[in-house]
Structure 1
Amino acid sequence: MRHNFDETINRIGTDSDKWDNEGKSGTLIPLGIADTDYRAPSEVVDAVRGKVDFGVFGYGHFPHDRFTDAIKGWYSRHHKIDIRKDQISYAPGLMTGALWMFLDAYTNPGDKVVIQPPVYATFKRVIENFNRKAIDNPLIFREGDYHIDFEDLEDKLKMPDVKILLVCNPANPVGRVWTKEEMQKMYDLCRENHVIIISDEIHSDMIHKGLPFHSFLEICEEEDQNVVVMNSPSKTFNLASFFSAYVIVKNRNLKKAFDDIYEKYHFDYNYLGVEALITAYNECDYYVIELNDYLHGNIDFSIEYINKHLPKLKVQYPDCSYLLWVDCEELGLNSENLAKFFENSGVRVNAGESYGKDSSHFVRVNIACTRSLLEHALKQIKLNYDKSGF
């Protein structure tokens, strides 16, 4: 491996949300917040260092061609999708930028946005804080896996003032990679009901089990179709604090509406973050291959350990990313006591109820850390599991 994912990096005291806030400055092992404990690729570090060493941080002039060329090349190499440079726009982050601007561009106060819980909790928060209404199309949990309730989805899309279906593709936290058939059904229903699809594809570089990933860009082949995609290298390369993301919009009218909102608020761009994105996408293909290999090992280790030593916890191998969605129902604990169980184990995880009202017996566990830390955390959970008499 060119990159050492086994390197232990002390993030305590570095203003890390994961370690200083969630982990209470090292009091708990944080396995919740979805960033990794891995250094960014050396090429990215060197590119950012070059900008820092230059030492002048005046207003930047957005490097449009380098930016769009990097994204176009990434989608061509990794997803076999050809996109045009004029279909790409910069966004200052996904939730804080892209989604917020999409809502402003395509909806009015009181309009409705359909989401599919259990799903990334910030979706609902952004929608409702922007004076729109989040409408649930709950996923169906059957035989350890999640499926879309298409009958309910059709009913929800027919509701008055529903303007958007917000899809997590691949799905966080449930770990599903939607099939092309499922995506086509979602698209057909939205087209029939004049509803825009916003597809969050931020976990699309980390796909497991040899599964194919399909972007909604493959489904909407014509420019007049109402699909927009938002993405970022932040999860793949651990660049979240740069807040540098992008959107891909084939429909010219939707693209212009988004760009108009960007201009309306006089947004600028992250000078260092855009350089990090360009470098990651142009020079660091190897990092993604090695990252996925390491994550596969961590997932295998975690599931084997849970099945052997924590049999009342149920977990399926995720299709994507570095997040395990763990069913703790057999512990017989309510959500408050479930959180206490993990904290008493010295570990912080994400409560399932934040992703959907029917998921209080689940927790989301981030395994994107060193193998040694992961093993240590699981052993602490086992000690408390045995002590509690489960």
Structure 2
Amino acid sequence: MALTHNFSVQYDRRHTDSQMYSLYPEDVLPMHLAETNFQTAQPIMDALASRVNQGMFGYVAESAELGLAVQHWMASRFELPIEPEWAQYSPSVGSSLVFAVQAFTQPGDRVLIQTPVYHAFHSLIDNSGRMKAENKLILRNGRYEIDFEDLERQLSNPRTKLMLLCNPHNPVGRCWTKEELTRMAELCLRHHVFVVSDEVHADLVYEAFTHIPLPAISEEIAQHCMVTVNPSKTFNLAGMRSSAAIIPNERRREAFRVALINNKAIDRPVFGMVALEAAYRHGGYYVDQLVPYIEENAKLVGEFLREHIPQLELIQPEATYLLWLDARKLGLPPDQLAPYFLREAKVAFRDGASCGNGEGFLRMSIGFPRAVLEQALHQMKQAVSKLDLN
């Protein structure tokens, strides 16, 4: 019997240890965080319950199970063959990026990012003693594109040693095409810049698009890159602190492992490992049902904004449950956009400025049951109606 999941069920997570619901008063809908409000997949809960029944939770031995589970997922979902030993444990994708900066660059080196991008990309470079370089994405006809001329200029700087790629891209929702990835890979290879590809949202690509893992572009770039994956976004498992860094090149893999050891990040969490393995072994059905639900949520937002709040424009997403909203026509100062919606709509957004190159934009999570999303939209409509838009 095929498993099904009901994503419309609403859960009361207030007065729990939920970070999402702890930052704002009870009357606020928290749509600022990259986390869904869906219960995780049943096989994951069953595996965790079975582990609890053992009653002993000592140090977890390193084993091949993590690599085998990641190998299964990458092959079954993305047709990417990897060897189990390529997958290195890491507490999170964010941690993997920090360790990669330590492993593959030196203080004073330049680390390149494409903005606007997930805010942690900025802070991890700013706090590392490295210099941040930006390849600003171009918004053209409602869609973000790569400025390849500037990208090569940034990569050709001899101090640029590392590029942090976000694919699919958070927050602009692009699923980079094979042609775009190939061109980026060729430029990085030409200028000897190692690439770390954050692919944490890879599972959440909409029907008309296809996620291509960076190593699939060529064997040459596979040996010159690292890919970070994590079931956290897909299965609502961020608190489990388990992810994997896929590194085909043995020398690079060992350098990354040294960074893990130096940061005392090598020990694997009991429940995190159980959850990751169950997700990647048995969670395919959940993703197959989650993605259409998320895509319908995105369509709902787009239609509602066009009809009721045309001054708030949705940048059409190709992936993820994070939407990028162009709020510049509302006439509010950029630094007042998020505070205005928090105060007047009781909806919390992430300020686009925190992503760099995103002033006047808002990031909105739609990983919610549809009824909650509809409530948020109506509250947003009421808030905008109070503005003088003449």
TM-score in same-fold range (> 0.5):
yes
2:216 and 2:222 in contact (8 A); partners too: no
Aligned to 2:69: 70
How is 1:269-348 mapped onto 2 (pairs within 5 angstroms)? Answer: 269-343=268-342, 344-348=344-348
Structure 2: stretches of 5+ with no match in the other structure: none
Q: Match for residue 184 of structure 1?
A: 182
Check if 1:231 corresponds to 2:233.
no
1:6 aligns with 2:8: yes
TM-aligned CA distance change 1:252 to 1:362, over 3 Å: same
1:57 aligns with 2:57: yes
Aligned partner of 1:39 in structure 2 is 39
Shift of 1:253: 1.0
Does the CA-based 8 Å contact 1:220-1:227 persist in structure 2?
A: no
Distance 1:221 1:59 in 2: 36
The count of aligned residue pairs is 385
* 1:228, distance to aligned residue in structure 2 (A): 0.9
Q: Which amino acid aligns with 1:376?
A: Q
- d(CA) in 1 for partners of 2:258 and 2:304? 51
Contact in 1 for aligned 2:168/2:199 (Cα 8 Å)? yes
d(CA) in 2 for partners of 1:352, 1:208: 23
Question: Quick one: distance in 1 between partners of 2:377 and 2:221?
Answer: 49
What letter matches 1:43 in structure 2?
P
Identity of aligned residues (%): 36
Deviation at 1:275, TM superposition (A): 0.5
Match of 2:369 in 1: 370
Structure 1 residue 202 corresponds to structure 2 residue 200: yes
Cα deviation for residue 264 of structure 1 reads 3.4
Structure 2 residue aligned with 1:107: 105
Aligned counterparts of 2:237 and 2:203: Cα–Cα separation in 1: 14
Whole-angstrom CA distance in 1 between matches of 2:222 and 2:201: 26
On the 8 A contact 2:138/2:145 being kept in 1, the answer is yes
SS in 2 for 1:61: coil
Do 1:334 and 1:360's aligned partners in 2 also have CA atoms closer than 8 Å?
A: no
* Per-residue deviation, residues 2-56 of structure 1 (Å, max 9, x unmatched): 11111111111112111111xx142311111010000111111121122222221
Residues 223, 251 of structure 1: 8 Å contact kept: no
Deviation sequence 1:276-326 (CA, Å, 0-9, x none): 000011111100011012112211111111111101111132000111111
Question: Taking structure 1 as the reference length, what is the TM-score of the superposition?
Answer: 0.96
Could you tell me how far 1:360 is from its partner in structure 2? 1.2
1:159-215 Cα distance to aligned partner (Å, 9 max, x none): 132110110011000000111111111111111111101100000001114211111
Structure 1 runs of 4+ aligned residues shifted over 6 Å read none
What is the rounded CA distance, in whole Å, between the counterparts of 1:256 and 1:59 in structure 2? 22
User: Does the CA-based 8 Å contact 1:89-1:247 persist in structure 2?
Assistant: yes
- Report what 1:91 is aligned to: 90
Checking the alignment, whether the CA contact within 8 Å between 2:88 and 2:246 is kept in structure 1 is: yes
Task: Mark the runs of 5 or more structure 1 residues left unpaired by the alignment.
Answer: none
- The 3-state SS of whatever aligns with 2:245 is strand
Q: 2:340 & 2:313 partners in 1: Cα distance?
A: 16
CA distance in 2 between counterparts of 1:84 and 1:318 reads 32
**Could you say which residue in structure 2 is the equivalent of 1:212?**
210
C-alpha separation in 1, matches of 2:137 and 2:27? 35
1:16 aligned residue: 18
Distance 1:58 1:18 in 2: 29
> Match of 1:54, SS?
coil
**2: CA distance, partners of 1:340 / 1:277:** 36
Q: Is the 8 A contact 2:165 2:198 kept in 1?
A: yes
Shift of residue 225, structure 1, vs aligned partner: 2.8
- Residues 242, 269 of structure 2: 8 Å contact kept: yes
Report 1:118-133 matches (<5 A): 118-133=116-131
Counterpart Cα distance in 2 of 1:140 and 1:389: 30
In the aligned structure 2, how far is the partner of 1:18 from the partner of 1:57?
Answer: 27
Q: CA deviation at 1:67?
A: 1.4
Q: Is the 8 A contact 2:189 2:221 kept in 1?
A: no
Give yes or no for contact 1:111–1:162 (8 Å, CA) kept in 2.
yes
CA distance in 2, matches of 1:261, 1:361: 38
Deviation at 1:88, TM superposition (A): 1.2
Match of 2:173 in 1: 175
Q: What is the deviation of 1:223? A: 8.0
Equivalent residue in structure 2 for 1:141, among 115, 136, 139: 139
Aligned equivalent of 2:249: 251
Offset, 1:224 = 7.4
**Partner Cα distance (1:282, 1:179) in 2:** 27
Q: What TM-score do you get using the length of structure 2 for normalisation?
A: 0.96
| Aligned residue identity for 2:17 | D
2:27 corresponding residue in structure 1:
27
Q: Cα RMSD between the aligned structures? A: 1.4
Deviations 1:243-272 (A, max 9, x none): 101011111111111122223344311110
Given that residues 157 and 189 in structure 1 are in contact (C-alpha distance below 8 angstroms), is that contact kept between their aligned partners in structure 2?
yes
Which of 260-269 and 134-143 deviates more? 260-269
Are the structure 2 counterparts of residues 16 and 25 from structure 1 closer, same or farther at C-alpha, using a change threshold of 3 Å?
farther
Matches of 1:217 and 1:86, distance apart in 2 = 15
Q: Distance in 2 between the 1:284 and 1:339 partners? A: 35
CA distance in 2, matches of 1:223, 1:324: 30
